[in-house]
Amino acid sequence: MSTRNVVLHVADVHKRFAGLHALADIDLQVEEGTIHAIIGPNGAGKSTLLNVCIGRLAPDSGAVVFDGQVITGKQPHEINQMGVVRVFQTPEIFPDLSLLHNVMVPAFAKRDGPFRLNAFQPVWRRTDIRDEAMHWLEDVGLATQSHAIAGSLSRGDKRRLELAMGLVQKPRLLLLDEPTAGMSRHDTNSTIDLLKKFKGRGMTKVIIEHDMHVVFSLADRITVLAQGRIIADGPPDEVRGNPKVQEAYLGGVH
């Protein structure tokens, strides 16, 4: 590892489900300001690992440390308020709301804390939050569609919208679960360009991804999981040439 600050440390984490060792001896360090990819075959434990990091699952043993603080045992909303934001594989948007209102909701929650559905109405009158939401819609290329209904978007644009909903929360750590799943090659390349655009803005990203074109286009470091264990961890070129990785997952990617 380099001399950069470690913003996320998954320390000796284990997790079992009905006797199945979903995660075993996971020790992972993510450096601040980098894009860190986690790859591996289906069932390797990637999504379980992210769920442990955001508090949706409690590890059987070990700890997750974010920015020097142990966050194991904290609730997901508490971890989110600390600056950890996850963008899910299936876009979690409000399909009946406009794009603008979709982004205003998490912006309001980040500033004022959790709120009830009947508190939505005052949000729309907050010009400061509206301006902030429009800024992020512009940054992800959706400003011209700000008043469109979110459910009418293409899959690629829904992913862009959810990215804006994550970015408006100003995360220190953004966790992206399969950000290009189901996209056309054109939308995939657009997403790569978009994520490159946000690199180095004081934000660290962890990406779970199956598309090796995406991984090797973006990642500063790659961790490879297989059967719940880390089998490789290092810079892309080092991981690409690792025989264990090629056997377990990459299938001889060159």
Beta strand 69-70 pairing with 173-177: unpaired
H/E element, 51: helix 46-53
- Using left for φ > 0, alpha for ψ between -120 and 50, and beta otherwise, residue 45 falls in left
Residue pair 92/117 in contact (Cβ under 8 Å)? The answer is: no
Local confidence pLDDT in tens for the 254 residues of the chain: 556 799 999 999 999 998 888 999 999 999 999 999 999 988 899 999 999 999 999 999 999 999 999 999 999 989 998 999 998 777 789 999 999 999 998 888 777 655 444 455 566 778 888 999 999 999 999 999 999 999 999 888 998 899 999 999 999 999 999 888 888 888 889 889 988 888 767 789 999 998 999 999 999 999 999 999 999 999 999 998 888 888 876 554 43
CA distance 223 to 231: 8
Core vs surface per residue 38-49: b (16+ CB within 10 A) or e: bbbeeebbbbbb
Positive or negative torsion for Cα 216, 218, 223, 228: negative
Distinct helix (H) and strand (E) counts, the chain:
10, 10
CA distance 25 to 22: 10
Residues in the chain: 254
CA distance 51 to 86: 9
Residues 6+ apart with CB under 8 A from 64: 8, 9, 10, 11, 13, 52, 53, 70, 71, 72
Residue pair 223/28 in contact (Cβ under 8 Å)? The answer is: yes
pTM: 0.88
